[in-house]
Amino acid sequence: MSLNGSAELVIVANRLPVDRMTEPSGATEWRVSPGGLVTALEPIMRANEGLWVGWPGGTDVDLEPFEHDGMTLDPIALSADEIEQFYEGFSNGTIWPLYHDLVAKPEFHREWWDSYVDVNRRFAERAAERAAKNATVWVQDYQLQLVPRLLRELRPDLRIGFFLHIPFPPAELFQQLPWRRQILEGLLGADLVGFQLPGGAANFVRLVRQRVGHKTHRDLVYLPDDRTVRAESFPISIDYKGFEELARSDSVQKRAATIRKALGSPKTLFLGIDRLDYTKGIYARLRAFSELLRDGELDVDDAVFVQVATPSREKVEEYRVLRDETDRLVGRINGDLGRIGRPAISYLHSSYPREEMAALYRAADVMVVTPYRDGMNLVAKEYVACRYDGDGALVLSEFAGSAAELRQAWQVNPYDLNGMKAALLDAARAEPRERQRRMRAMRKTVEKADVAAWATAFLDELDEARPPHGKKLKPTPGS
């Protein structure tokens, strides 16, 4: 077991990659939570006796490190206050809206900030205890932006990487943050700071130059202590092969057929799958669809919109309001436009197993992904991976990170309702040859740049960024 300062690779993320499930008998067990990050990191974690530090969920769950599925997991407990102030507060009430173009108004509270500092310190201390000499530590996402610096103070020998899964905003927005300098300095503790898009990296470097006053050149920051920090983009991706295999399985194909039948075998099935989040543009897309029904461009007898909205951050006020608004809109649209046995929108506020997601992707003629702002958006890439027949149309917001790669999607501005209506219709009415041409090109792109390629690119660059320590990670077997 790789404990007590012997881990060559440490992943530090807000959440552990497992969920605690309670059986009907009352017994509890851990189940790997579905997610690209675990899939990407599992092989390299195994090859390097890696350790994952993170919150197991729940309040005050104080647990010893444990092995799960060949990974060593090291839980960090959060108190009820910390969940409220660090997690729901500063992470999801301040940083999340600020980094997503102020789609909602960020709140700035000093107690939230204090809690963010405390929790970040605890994560850094734990990583410092567990990492072997000259080890590699990879810190994930917006909840832990202070960890790189705190960790470097404790362990200057480490090679430290940071990856931000959400957008990094332009200076004009970022500078609202009362603690802007501390966040920038926190990130500068890393040797390599990774972003989804080149624009995020450029925003960061510009802010460091303007606000912290360090010299920069292209993607490099020169610190006074002779250290350099590289800021670069690494667009995250999915387990392409895994999704395609799942989509090809008999059970998923059967399930896809059952879903279409249950919906009355519509000519066009539109699909949205998102966490119920105000950044995802669910409300606007449902309105666009309902106007097409109202205008007579579509008919409930042969078109239906399935919207899966996975419950998310339900204790945060903004998310409660969003849920009520969405419920009301769906009720009104179905009340006005549905017929007996033919609702216009089939709305599911629930989360589903991966198999069901794949069956939905298989069943959908038009996948609708219309965030106002999104770091990447994996749903768009998962849909593409599941369309092994080359059919299916993707309507994609210009403001999703994935729009940079998925050029052949029907791209839309989610603030432009008429534009969105036109794109939904074009996608639904496109000739099969046109759909195939676009889908084939997108499939090639995602197949080449899968999540394993993402993790390898980041870790290789981190090795390059900090060569004096000599010790490289062991490559994944077979790569």
Residues in touch with ligand GDG (CB under 6 A):
34, 36, 165-166, 236, 273, 275, 310, 351-354, 357, 374-379, 382
Q: Output 72 or 307, the one with its CB closest to ligand GDG.
A: 307
Q: Shortest Cβ distance from residue 319 to ligand GDG (Å)?
A: 13
CA angle 168, 169, 174 (to 5 degrees): 115
Q: Are 155 and 178 in contact (CB under 8 A)?
A: no
The nearer residue to ligand GDG, 165 or 230, going by C-beta atoms, is: 165
CB of 355 to ligand GDG, least distance (A): 9
Closer of 158 and 366 to ligand GDG (Cβ): 366
Report in angstroms how near the CB of residue 357 gets to ligand GDG at its nearest. Answer: 5
Q: Which is nearer to ligand GDG, 352 or 415 (CB)?
A: 352
Instruction: Tell me whether residue 132 or residue 308 sits nearer to ligand GDG (CB atom).
Output: 308
| C-beta of 147 vs 166, nearer to ligand GDG | 166
Q: Which is nearer to ligand GDG, 66 or 352 (CB)?
A: 352
Task: For 253, list phi and psi in degrees, rounded to 5.
Answer: -65, -40
Name which of 75 and 200 has its Cβ closer to ligand GDG: 200
- Which amino acid makes up residue 304? V
Residue closer to ligand GDG, measured from CB, 34 or 419: 34
Alpha carbon of 355 to those of 22, 241, 249, 421: distances in Å? 21, 14, 9, 30
Closest approach of ligand GDG to the CB of residue 468, in Å:
30
Distance CA 404, CA 57 (A): 34
Nearer to ligand GDG, 8 or 200 (CB): 200
Smallest gap from residue 153 Cβ to ligand GDG (A): 28
CB under 8 Å to 363, separation ≥6 — which residues? Answer: 256, 257, 259, 260, 269, 271
Closest approach of Cβ 271 to ligand GDG, in Å? 12
H or E element in which residue 456 lies: helix 451-465
Cα→Cα distances 324→105, 278, 331, 433, 461, Å:
18, 12, 11, 41, 45
DSSP 104: S
Shortest distance, CB of residue 411 to ligand GDG, whole angstroms? 16
- State the nearest-atom distance from the C-beta of 353 to ligand GDG, in Å: 6
Kindly state the smallest distance separating residue 219's Cβ from ligand GDG, in Å.
20
- Shortest distance in whole angstroms from residue 301 CB to ligand GDG: 29
Strands (E), 46-108: 51-55, 66-68, 71-75
CB of 238 to ligand GDG, least distance (A): 7
**Residue labelled with tokens 């419950």:** 311
Beta strands in 321-407 (DSSP E): 345-348, 366-369, 393-397
The answer for residues whose C-beta is within 8 angstroms of residue 27's C-beta and 6 or more apart is none
The set of residues, in sequence order, having a beta carbon less than 8 Å from that of 2 and lying 6+ positions away, is: 8, 49, 50, 51, 72
**Helix 432-448 vs helix 378-386: crossing angle, to nearest 10:** 110
Report strand pairing: 303-310 vs 268-275.
parallel
CA dist., res. 402 & res. 324, Å (int): 29
- When the beta carbons of 4 and 33 are compared against ligand GDG, the nearer one is 33
Residues 437, 440, 444, 449, Cα dihedral to 10°: 100
